[in-house]
């Protein structure tokens, strides 16, 4: 298929002197002014035209709030600060014509340093990236981004169009990586892939590809970007006034429907950033009630399993996703809730066992040492050990069937919750209590709680008959 994004025809003048654009995806023609009103999105097929950095910044930032970084280049790369629904952010917006030369890279590093010192989150909008002259300067960008992340500032990357090479590889390190419909990400450049004897990448892609490849957290159409980005910054705890909640709010992936009276919402984050997105383990940023922000991990349920869910349960990619999301929770101080349904391990494919064992071990190691409160909810009697692994939390709640199943394994839940409708209140109670414990008792209180997680894990590991679960996180962690 032709690489349509790159050969995209520019606007043309019609008979009456009006400017038009032709959608390269569906072939329809529409007046340029109308296309601009629609944020350059085709009204017929939802194709997202590439557009200028200034227009994209105008769409995202509060009107008149952009202040360019002193001495920064103008044009296809805009660097500076702005507000997003009143929330201060450092913004870097590049369009498809930017060339990353030394001066661009230096200005970007200056922006990152300023964001770190002034405690601002970073929003980096990337488009088709070219230019290799900057390669020797790029490690400086990595270092500045690491420093920004170490300072606890969220970094959101938004991919608009195809991204290749170093900037694309950098985007994979973002806290959250969002992609416009049709965006592609290739950490290797097309010419490198061609030299390696592979076909050139198709440039127009359906959005699911970026998700199923495990690269992006979510796909964001242009019209939703401003509201959703502000919402995500809010869920990550970035300072600023509460933004309007995107409508409709997505309810939690409760096994038995949305709990009555709960005002919470859920934003699903996909992928392990390397090999794919495992539907057997879902995760995302969530809010319980009005203001309790947390990270949610939910294993597929016996009832209502998604169709894409593999029949034999959570695979290596699922555990890698879990590790990625748990680390995100740790960095932003978000308590973690795990909802555990029936789940098993991929035991059928022998050759994958080492990979599965290593990724499960890494996820468990992360879970057991996470410096934030963790609450596990056992929803069903579980016949596989994988779901049980996620019960090694500070507090363990269980529905009656699951509580009985846990007792058989010598484990006692901290609270038996009578019905799923009672879960939100029980969760809020335990989370508030734990948050207080963590806040008041400091490292000492935390170490007692962490010890409790390890004791739970040790009991589970001793009970487990499957050798996979017996491999301790420490052992797998040392395997390098």
Which residues make up the interface to Zn ion (CB under 5 A)?
23, 25-26, 42, 44-45, 47
CB of 6 to Zn ion, least distance (A): 17
Q: In whole angstroms, give the CA distance from residue 6 to residue 380.
A: 51
* Closest C-alpha to 81, from 70, 90, 94: 90
CB of 46 to Zn ion, least distance (A): 7
Q: Closer to Zn ion at the Cβ: 9 or 196?
A: 9
* Closest C-alpha to 266, from 283, 247, 250: 250
Helix count and strand count (H, E) for the chain:
15, 19
User: Can you give the three-state secondary structure of 245-293, one letter per residue?
Assistant: CCCCCCCCCCCCCCCCCCCCEEEECCCCCCCCCCCCEEEEEEEECCCEE
CB of 24 to Zn ion, least distance (A): 8
Q: Closer to Zn ion at the Cβ: 25 or 347?
A: 25
Mutual angle of helices 222-235 and 53-60, in 10-degree steps: 50
CB of 94 to Zn ion, least distance (A): 24
Q: Closer to Zn ion at the Cβ: 47 or 155?
A: 47
CB of 140 to Zn ion, least distance (A): 40
CB of 2 to Zn ion, least distance (A): 16
Q: Are the C-beta atoms of residues 271 and 278 closer than 8 Å to each other?
A: no
* Closest C-alpha to 441, from 402, 403, 394: 394
Q: Closer to Zn ion at the Cβ: 161 or 315?
A: 161
**Residue 155: Cβ-neighbour burial (10 angstroms; 0-12, 13-18, 19+):** buried
Q: Closer to Zn ion at the Cβ: 45 or 404?
A: 45
Q: Closer to Zn ion at the Cβ: 48 or 120?
A: 48
Q: Closer to Zn ion at the Cβ: 45 or 462?
A: 45
Q: Closer to Zn ion at the Cβ: 47 or 215?
A: 47
- The 8 Å CB, 24+ separation contacts for 19-24 are 21/49, 23/47, 23/49, 24/204
Q: Per DSSP, what are the bridge partners of residue 283?
A: 297
* Closest C-alpha to 402, from 377, 379, 420: 379
CB of 216 to Zn ion, least distance (A): 22
CB of 208 to Zn ion, least distance (A): 18
Q: In the numeric block, which tokens belong to residue 268?
A: 């699903």
Q: In whole angstroms, give the CA distance from residue 15 to residue 390.
A: 66
What DSSP line would sit under 36-68, residue for residue?
A: HHTTTB-TTT--B----HHHHHHHHSPTT--EE
């Amino acid at each position: 298929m032709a690489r349509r994004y790159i050969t995209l025809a520019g606007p043309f003048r019609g008979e009456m002197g009006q400017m038009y654009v032709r959608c390269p995806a569906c072939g329809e023609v529409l007046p340029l002014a109308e296309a601009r009103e629609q944020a350059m999105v085709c009204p017929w097929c939802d194709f997202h035209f590439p557009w200028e950095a200034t227009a994209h910044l105008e769409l995202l930032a509060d009107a008149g709030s952009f202040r360019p970084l002193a001495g920064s280049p103008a044009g296809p790369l805009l660097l500076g600060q702005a507000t997003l629904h009143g929330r201060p952010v450092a913004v870097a917006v590049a369009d498809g014509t930017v060339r990353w030369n030394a001066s661009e890279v230096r200005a970007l590093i200056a922006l990152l340093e300023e964001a770190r010192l002034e405690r601002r989150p970073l929003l980096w909008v990337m488009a088709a990236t070219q230019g290799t002259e900057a390669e020797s300067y790029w490690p400086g960008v990595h270092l500045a981004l690491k420093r920004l992340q170490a300072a606890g500032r969220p970094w959101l990357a938004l991919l608009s169009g195809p991204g290749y090479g170093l900037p694309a590889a950098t985007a994979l390190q973002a806290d959250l990586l969002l992609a416009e419909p049709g965006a592609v990400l290739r950490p290797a450049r097309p010419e490198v892939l061609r030299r390696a004897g592979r076909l050139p990448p198709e440039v127009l892609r359906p959005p699911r590809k970026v998700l199923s490849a495990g690269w992006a957290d979510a796909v964001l159409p242009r019209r939703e970007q401003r509201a959703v980005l502000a919402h995500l910054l809010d869920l990550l705890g970035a300072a600023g006034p509460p933004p309007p909640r995107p409508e409709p709010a997505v309810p939690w992936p409760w096994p038995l429907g949305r709990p009555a009276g709960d005002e919470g919402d859920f934003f699903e984050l996909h992928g392990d950033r390397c090999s794919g997105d495992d539907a057997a383990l879902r995760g995302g940023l969530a809010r319980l009630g009005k203001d309790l922000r947390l990270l949610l991990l939910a294993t597929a349920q016996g009832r209502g399993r998604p169709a894409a869910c593999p029949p034999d349960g959570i695979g290596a990619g699922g555990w890698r996703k879990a590790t990625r999301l748990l680390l995100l929770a740790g960095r932003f101080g978000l308590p973690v809730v795990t909802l555990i349904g029936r789940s098993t391990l991929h035991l059928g494919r022998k050759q994958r066992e080492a990979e599965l064992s290593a990724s499960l071990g890494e996820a468990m190691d992360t879970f057991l040492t996470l410096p934030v409160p963790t609450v596990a909810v056992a929803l069903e009697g579980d016949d596989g050990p994988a779901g049980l692994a996620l019960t090694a939390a500070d507090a363990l709640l269980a529905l009656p069937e699951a509580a009985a199943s846990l007792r058989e394994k010598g484990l006692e839940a901290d609270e038996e919750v009578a019905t799923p409708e009672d879960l939100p209140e029980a969760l809020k109670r335990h989370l508030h209590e734990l948050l207080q414990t963590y806040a008041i008792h400091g490292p000492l209180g935390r170490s007692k709680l962490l010890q409790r997680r390890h004791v739970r894990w040790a009991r589970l590991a001793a009970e487990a008959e499957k050798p996979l679960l017996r491999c301790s996180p420490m052992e797998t962690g040392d395997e390098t």
